[in-house]
Amino acid sequence: MLDVLTAFAPDSPEFIRDPYPALAALREAGPIHFHPGRNLWLVTRHADVNAILRDRRFGRTYLHGATHEEMGRTPEPAWQAPFWRVVRNGMLDREPPDHTRLRALGGKAFRSHHSAESLRPRVQRIVDDLLDRALAKGTFDLLADFFEPLPVAVIADVLGIPAEDRPKLRPWSADMCAMYELGAGEAEGRRAVRATEEFEAYLRALVAERRARPGGDLVSDLLGVEENGARLSDDEVIGHSILMLNAGHEASVNGAGNGWWALFRHPEALAWLREDPAARSTRAVEELLRFDTPLPIFERYVLEDAEVCGVRVRRGAELGLLFASANRDPATFRDPDRLDLAREPNPHLAFGAGIHFCLGAPLARAEMQVAFETLLRRAPTLQPVEEPAWKPTFVLRGLEELRVRVV
């Protein structure tokens, strides 16, 4: 068992490049393993991960019912307080009843004017503009020149952030999201705090402006939305807006980059998709998210003593739900290591499940579908220039760059 656990090495470049053999060994060895080096229970199989995501004995946080000390955990250092205060004003790090209220209000505001389907024409315009500029270069980075600016432009457009301010968003998002890595240290934490403070100050000024002069953007809708007398505070609007950028941007970029690298490594699948991208891209996107998921691991905390996969786990323990392993589980997916763009059914967990299922999943899917269809149509002979390097991160797993050209 020790050898199997040793293979789980999220700090190792070799593991990050291809974690799937090690994850398969963990999954075959059992449904749950305690990793003493990380004080983490690793859950490997699809049925168990799916069930835990839907079980309210396990939460994204425990602070709605207990302190860190009461859960046997160490509080964050005081200097991290600005980061956690802002993050915990978003719905992702809340549990019911707060989560229920925040999700209802946030969802209502988003659906009112900004549904994924209504945004498709706007997404298409942004995609065409980015691709015009990228293709004019001849050789370009599919991530930096196309997939990275795409979700930033879409989300900033929805939030009502002026175009001249949007270059600030990507660095803020990247620095904040680095805090979620398993090996994040003080240097990453200090950068995350600084980014949080700058992002919060920027959004607080924007919120004050929209309170005085509402527009047709999502920030204005979030400030005005009401349900059964409940409304969002300024802090909650800021937390929701930051969550939209961070969750939507990092996962979308990595999902698209991982997906295209998988297509380049499977030319028969890419050829099949190129035959009819408009009809086949919807299923293809789902399979690419399953095959090389951009969020390989996500945590839950045990809110009360519970039996997990036949093992007694104490209150306060942390579960590492291995989405990447669950999405390759042969008990759920036939021939799971094969890229099958026509796969049906495809109950992957790339967007989570249960009450914390990604609220932005429809928009993320629409962005990927429009981007993939347009690339396949306008650049049908796109090819990689070289093998890309992977970022030194595992919680948010993606490529450093993906240089391509039309041949």
* CA separation for the pair 227, 108 (Å, rounded): 9
Residue with tokens 């795409």: 150
* CA separation for the pair 401, 407 (Å, rounded): 19
Backbone angles phi, psi at 214, to 5 degrees: -60, 145
Question: Partners of 404 in the beta sheet?
Answer: 140, 384
Asked whether 175 and 195 are in contact (CB, 8 A), the reply is yes
Residues 6 or more apart from 398 whose CB is under 8 A from it?
A: 143, 250, 253, 254, 257, 258, 294, 390, 391
Q: Model confidence at 1, in pLDDT bands (50, 70, 90)?
A: low
- How buried is residue 144: exposed, middle or buried, by Cβ count under 10 Å (0-12/13-18/19+)? middle
State the catalytic residue, choosing from 250, 286, 373, 401: 250
Q: 116 an active-site residue?
A: no
- Mean pLDDT value across residues 104-119: 87
**What is the average pLDDT score of the chain?**
95
- Residue from 154, 150, 345 nearest 254 by CA: 150
State the catalytic residue, choosing from 173, 220, 241, 252: 252
CA distances (Å), origin 274, targets 57, 129, 377: 45, 21, 8
pLDDT in tens, 33-72: 999 989 999 999 999 999 999 999 999 999 999 999 999 9
Residue 114 confidence (pLDDT) above 80: no
Q: How many CB atoms lie within 10 A of CB 208?
A: 11
- Mean pLDDT value across residues 187-192: 96
Reduced to 3 states (helix: H, G, I; strand: E, B; else coil), residue 286 is: helix
- Mean pLDDT value across residues 145-165: 93
Residue 13 confidence (pLDDT) above 60: yes
Q: How many CB atoms lie within 10 A of CB 298?
A: 18
Q: Model confidence at 277, in pLDDT bands (50, 70, 90)?
A: very high
Residues 6 or more apart from 137 whose CB is under 8 A from it?
A: 145
pLDDT in tens, 222-233: 999 998 899 999
Q: What's the token pair of residue 235?
A: 């802090």
State the catalytic residue, choosing from 247, 284, 324, 366: 247
Q: What is the CA radius of gyration of the chain?
A: 21
Reduced to 3 states (helix: H, G, I; strand: E, B; else coil), residue 320 is: strand
Q: 247 an active-site residue?
A: yes
Q: Is the dihedral of CA 49, 50, 53, 58 positive or negative?
A: negative
* CA separation for the pair 310, 52 (Å, rounded): 13
Q: 252 an active-site residue?
A: yes
Q: What's the token pair of residue 267?
A: 């030319």
State the catalytic residue, choosing from 284, 358, 366, 371: 358
* CA separation for the pair 371, 381 (Å, rounded): 15
State the catalytic residue, choosing from 148, 200, 236, 367: 367
Q: 309 an active-site residue?
A: no
Residue with tokens 């390759």: 328
More confident residue, 248 or 233: 233
Residue 276 confidence (pLDDT) above 60: yes
Backbone angles phi, psi at 399, to 5 degrees: -85, 150
Amino acid at site 163? A
Helix residue ranges per DSSP H, 160-215: 169-177, 186-212
Residues 6 or more apart from 13 whose CB is under 8 A from it?
A: 390, 392
Residue 2 confidence (pLDDT) above 70: no
Which domains, ranges and CATH numbers included, belong to the chain?
65-298+355-406 (1.10.630.10)
